[in-house]
């Protein structure tokens, strides 16, 4: 019999999903039959994402304007989902990436902002959804981090530092909530063709006096699979962790990097 991932009957909340990896994850979960709600800060981009997901999957997703760095926004989002569908089964903690920069270039304000974006935002999501998941004795919290948790990437000082704090938090949380059958995992992408990656390529090209295309090609060539990931390839890993196929997997970092990290 074919193995099918069927998430019908499951309610999923995907944060920071107006583009890139978040949107691809929302698309994949909707395609698998889940009822999906997405959030992001800009109503216009959120609406574009909602329309895009409808066009490609034929499934309507719910969209809510929220900034994940604000706890009140995250609480309001989850409350609205609960009012509509009664609960949340699957929560995907995602956010924009921190700014690039070396130690010397970064300001203390950027360190504080990145703490709020990269670590505190996951705490907000966990605080909002875990009581629901624990009460129903079924839940999946999946955070999108980066291969930088295995392999520090040059000029990504903030990502290399604060994402490790997020992984430490999530590993500890996984052990605390496992008795209630709530699984907590991390997906760590390598170079993935999204708006963020193109922005990083534009900055790097300016610095090195070359073109963004040359930078993107360099990243592809540095990857053993010799290409960038497509967002759907990251989304497929999230789909696996959200599904019953991953029912005994918790506290793990699933690196989806085409072999980039030279670490075991
Ligand atoms: P992206 O910039 O293309 O998309 C980020 C999404 O997050 C957008 O929808 C944006 O509106 C939303 N967002 C940003 N800040 C938010 C906030 N405060 N509240 C709510 N929504 C917010 O980024 P992406 O490439 O899809 O990356 C997603 C995550 O994965 C980032 O943390 C990024 O650093 C990480 N990552 C990306 C790559 C890559 O190569 N693209 C590699 C490793 C890790």
Single out the residue of 108, 110, 177 nearest to residue 141, CA to CA.
177
Q: Is the CB of 22 under 6 A from ligand 1?
A: yes
Q: How far is the CA of 95 from the centre of ligand 1 (A)?
A: 5
What is the 8-class DSSP label of residue 39? E
The preferred substitution site among 16, 231, 258 for testing ligand 1, maximizing ligand atoms within 8 Å of CB, is 16
Single out the residue of 26, 32, 28 nearest to residue 9, CA to CA.
32
Strands 90-93 and 62-65: unpaired
Give the pLDDT confidence score for residue 136 in this predicted structure. Answer: 98
Q: What 3-state class would DSSP assign to 256?
A: strand
Q: How far apart are the first and last CA of the chain?
A: 34
pTM of the model: 0.98
Give the pLDDT confidence score for residue 1 in this predicted structure. Answer: 79
Instruction: Give 101-162 as a DSSP string.
Output: B-TTT--HHHHHHHIIIIIIHHHHHHHHHHHHHHHHT-EEEEEE--GGGTSPPTTBHHHHHH
Residue 219 CA, chain-centre distance (Å), reads 21
Give the ligand 1 atom nearest the CA of 148: 43
The preferred substitution site among 96, 190, 235 for testing ligand 1, maximizing ligand atoms within 8 Å of CB, is 96
Give the pLDDT confidence score for residue 251 in this predicted structure. Answer: 98
CA distance 231 to 147: 14
CA distance 264 to 250: 18
Give the pLDDT confidence score for residue 209 in this predicted structure. Answer: 96
- Its sign, for the CA torsion 160, 39, 177, 144, is negative
Give the pLDDT confidence score for residue 264 in this predicted structure. Answer: 87
The preferred substitution site among 64, 196, 225, 237 for testing ligand 1, maximizing ligand atoms within 8 Å of CB, is 196
Q: Is the CB of 258 under 6 A from ligand 1?
A: no
CA distance 78 to 69: 14
pLDDT in tens, the chain (264 residues): 798 999 999 999 999 999 999 999 999 999 999 999 999 999 999 999 999 999 999 999 999 999 999 999 999 999 999 999 999 999 999 999 999 999 999 999 999 999 999 999 999 999 999 999 999 999 999 999 999 999 999 999 999 999 999 999 999 999 999 999 999 999 999 999 999 999 999 999 999 999 999 999 999 999 999 999 999 999 999 999 999 999 999 999 999 999 999 988
What is the 8-class DSSP label of residue 258? T
Give the pLDDT confidence score for residue 201 in this predicted structure. Answer: 95
What is the 8-class DSSP label of residue 180? G
Single out the residue of 120, 35, 119, 21 nearest to residue 80, CA to CA.
35
Q: Do 49 and 63 contact (CB within 8 A), yes or no?
A: yes
Q: Do 29 and 242 contact (CB within 8 A), yes or no?
A: yes
């Amino acid at each position: 019999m074919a193995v099918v991932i069927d998430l019908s009957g499951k309610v999923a909340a995907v944060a920071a999903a107006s583009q890139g990896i978040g949107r691809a994850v929302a698309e994949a979960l909707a395609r698998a039959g889940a009822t999906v709600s997405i959030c992001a800060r800009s109503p216009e981009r959120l609406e574009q994402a909602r329309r895009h997901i409808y066009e490609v999957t034929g499934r309507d997703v719910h969209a809510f304007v929220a900034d994940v760095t604000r706890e009140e926004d995250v609480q309001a989002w989850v409350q609205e989902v609960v009012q509509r569908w009664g609960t949340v089964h699957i929560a995907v903690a995602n956010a924009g990436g921190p700014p690039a920069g070396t130690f010397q270039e970064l300001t203390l304000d950027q360190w504080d902002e990145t703490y709020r974006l990269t670590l505190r935002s996951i705490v907000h999501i966990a605080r909002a959804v875990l009581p629901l998941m624990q009460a129903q004795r079924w839940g999946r919290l999946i955070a999108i981090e980066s291969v930088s948790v295995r392999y520090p990437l040059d000029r990504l000082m903030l990502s290399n530092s604060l994402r490790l704090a997020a992984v430490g938090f999530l590993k500890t949380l996984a052990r605390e909530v496992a008795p209630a059958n709530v699984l907590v995992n991390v997906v760590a992408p390598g170079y993935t063709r999204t708006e963020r990656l193109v922005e990083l390529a534009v900055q790097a090209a300016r610095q090195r006096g070359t073109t963004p295309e040359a930078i993107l090609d360099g990243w592809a060539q540095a990857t053993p699979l010799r290409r960038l990931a497509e967002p759907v390839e990251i989304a497929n890993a999230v789909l696996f962790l959200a599904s019953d196929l991953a029912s005994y997997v918790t506290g793990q970092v699933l690196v989806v990097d085409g072999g980039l990290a030279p670490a075991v």
